[in-house]
Chain A
Amino acid sequence: MIRLVVLLLLLAVPAKAEEIVLGLSQDEVAITATFEGSEILIFGAIKRDGPVEVPGDLGVIVTIAGPDEPVTVRKKDRRLGIWVNTEAVEIEVAPTFYAVATNRPLDEILTSTEDLNTRISMQRAIRSVGATAESAQNFTDALIRIRASQGLYQTIPEGVSVAEEALFRALIPLPANLTEGDYVAEIYLTRDKRIIDLYTTSIPVKKVGLERWLYNLAHENPFLYGLMSLSIAIAAGWGASAAFSAFRR
C-alpha cells in the first residue's frame, strides 16, 4: 500500500522533466582603464529526460542583478519661485543593475503569483518602505525611469531567442557605469506560466590593473593617495611652466 502511494507521488511530481544546461561568454567582467561597457552572452540548452511532450508554452527568463544598495529618491517642488527638493523616499532594496530578458512578454510566460514570489519583474525587484503606497509608487517609477535612461535597468521582452524548444541564448548589454560586486544571473524555465527549473550563477564585476591599484590606495591609504595627487598636480604645474619658458627662450 505504501509503495503504491510513493509510486503515485513520483508520477504526480516528475522531478525535473526539463533542466537547464548553461554557458556564459565570460566568467567575470574586468573593468580596465579603457572599459566602455561590455555585454554578456548567456546561452544554454534544455535537457530532457524523455521525449518532448509539450504540456504548455515554454518560457525562458534571464535576469542579471547587480549588488543591492539603498537609494534615496528626492522630488523637487516649487517653493518661493525656485525648484527645491521637498519630498524624499528611501528605497531599501534597489539593485544597482537589473536586466530582465525573456523570450516573450513576461506576463505571457509567468503568472503574477509566481512573479510576486520570485520578484522577477522590474517592479517587483525594487522594494520601498515608508510613505504611502501610492506616492511610493511614483518614486519607484522615477528610480526605474532614471536608471533605465542610464542603461542600468533594462527590460528586454524579446531578448531571449529559443531554437527548436531546446537551445536558447540572450545577449545582455552592460553599460560603463557599473558598480563593482557579484552580479547574479538567474535563468528560469517556465511551462504554462509556472517555473519548472531555475539555474543561478554569479559573474564577478571588478576593477583590474591600475584601476584596482588606485582604488585600493585611495581607500586603504588615503593620506598617501592625497599626497600623491598633490605631487602630481605640483609637478604638472611646474613642468608646464618650465616647458613654456624653454620655448620662449
Chain B
Amino acid sequence: MQIYLPIAEVSVNIFLLLGLGGIVGVLSGMFGVGGGFLMTPLLFFIGIPPAVAVATEANQIVASSFSGVLAHLKRKTVDLRMGTVLLIGGLIGSGLGIILFNYLKALGQVELLVQLCYVVFLGMIGTMMFIESLNAIRRSSKPGGAAPKRRKHNWVHNLPFKMKFRVSGLYISVIPPLMVGILVGVLAAIMGVGGGFIMVPAMIYLLGMPTKVVVGTSLFQIIFVTAFTTMLHATTNFTVDVVLAVLLLVGGVIGAQIGTRIGVKMKAEQLRIWLAIMVLAVCGKLAFDLLVMPAELFSLGAGGHS
C-alpha cells in the first residue's frame, strides 16, 4: 500500500516504512543509539530527499529515545546529573553545528563532508570498540582470570570543576562530559543523527562510566538535542515530514521496547561487539560508495545558488 508524503512529495510503501522503523527501533533500544546513522542512509536509498530525511529522522529519534529512556528510568539506569551536563554541551554543539553546516553548504561540498564524517567516525569508533570488546571477552573467558580492570586514573581525573555523579559512581571534572556533549551536538547537526554511536563509546572509554548507565543516559541527552534540531529544521527549512515521522515511529517505538528488553538480557561485552560490527558494516558500505565508480556520474540538485 502506497502513501503520499506531503513534505517529501514522494509516494512510498507503508509497510516498508513501518518495517524500517521497527528494525532500527530494536537496534536503538539494544544499544542506546538513536539509530539515525542507520535510518538516515536507508531513507536516502528509498528515495526520500536528503534534507527531508535528515530533519524527519531527528523527530523520529525523539520518539524512540523517549520510549527507550522510560524503560531505563524505571530500572534507575539513567544518570540524570551526567545527562544534564552532556545536554548543555549538546545544545551548544548543535547550534555551532548548524552554523558550520550552512557555511559548508555555501561552499557546495556538504554531501561529501557528511559522507566522509560518517566513514571516519564510524571507522574509528567501530575499530576501537571491536578490539576492546574482543580483549574483554578473551579476558573473562580465561579460567581464573581477573575481572576486567578499568584504568582508574587518566588525564580526565586531573581537571578542575569536579562534580559528583552518584549514579555513575564517579567524581570527575565537568569539562570532559561538556566537551563530549559539544562534539556530539556538532556531529548531530552535520550528520543528521542522534549521536549515540559517538557518545556511548566516549562515555565508556573517556569518562569511565559503567556500561549499565551509559545507554539510558545517552538516550536522555539525545531526546533533547534531537528535539532542538527538529525545531531548527522545521522553522528554517520546512523539511520535517510528519506523516513520514509517524510511520517510522510507530515501528520505531515498538522496536525500541523490544530492543531494550533484549539488551538487558545480553552481556555487556557481547552487546558492545555487536554494536562494533554494525558500525563497521555501515562504515564499509559508505566507504565503498565513495571508492567505486558510481553507475550515474551526474546528480540533480535544487537550482539557484549551488
A contact residues vs B (CB 8 Å cutoff): 31-37, 69-78, 81-85, 88, 90-92, 94, 139, 142-143, 145-147, 176-180, 207, 210-212, 214-215, 218-219, 222-223, 225-230, 232-234, 236-241, 244-245
Contact = CB atoms under 8 A, between A and B. Distances in A.
A31 B63 contact: no
A218 B234 contact: yes
A138 to B, nearest CB: 8
**Chain B interface residue bracket vs A:** 35 or more
Contacts of A177: 9-11
A71 B302 contact: yes
Interface stretch (B159-167, B173-181, B241-249): B241-249
Contact of B240 (A94, A147, A226): A226
Contacts of A33: 3-4, 243
Interface in B44-73: 59-60, 62-68, 70-71
A77 B304 CA distance: 22
Give the one of A75, A81, A227, A229 with max B CB within 10 A.
A229
Given A236-B67, A237-B70, A241-B257, A74 B246 contact: no
Interface of B: 1-4, 6-7, 9-11, 59-60, 62-68, 70-71, 74, 108-109, 111-112, 227, 230-231, 233-235, 238, 240, 242-243, 245-246, 249-250, 253-254, 256-257, 290-294, 296-304, 306
Contact of A233 (B59, B300, B302): B59
Nearest to A224: B234
Contact of B70 (A82, A88, A226, A241): A241
Given A74-B299, A226-B235, A232-B242, A34 B4 contact: yes
Nearest to B303: A70
Contacts of A245: 74
B292 to A, nearest CB: 8
B300 A71 contact: yes
Contacts of B299: 73-74, 76, 85, 146
A78 B109 CA distance: 14
Nearest to A92: B303
Contact of B235 (A72, A223, A237): A223
Contact of B6 (A207, A229, A237, A240): A207
Nearest to A175: B11
Given A70-B303, A145-B296, A241-B253, 17 more contacts: A32-B4, A33-B3, A34-B1, A34-B2, A73-B301, A75-B297, A83-B294, A88-B301, A218-B234, A222-B238, A228-B242, A229-B230, A232-B242, A237-B66, A240-B253, A241-B67, A241-B70
Contacts of A72: 300-304, 306
B251 to A, nearest CB: 10
B245 A232 contact: yes
B293 A179 contact: no
B230 A226 contact: yes
Contacts of B2: 34-36, 176
Contacts of A32: 4
Contact of B4 (A31, A76, A227, A236): A31
A87 to B, nearest CB: 9
A228 B243 CA distance: 12
Contacts of A36: 2, 4, 11
29 contacts: A34-B1, A35-B11, A70-B304, A71-B301, A73-B298, A74-B299, A74-B306, A77-B297, A82-B291, A83-B290, A90-B303, A139-B298, A146-B298, A176-B11, A179-B9, A211-B4, A212-B6, A214-B6, A226-B231, A229-B59, A229-B234, A233-B245, A234-B66, A236-B63, A237-B63, A240-B256, A240-B257, A241-B67, A241-B257
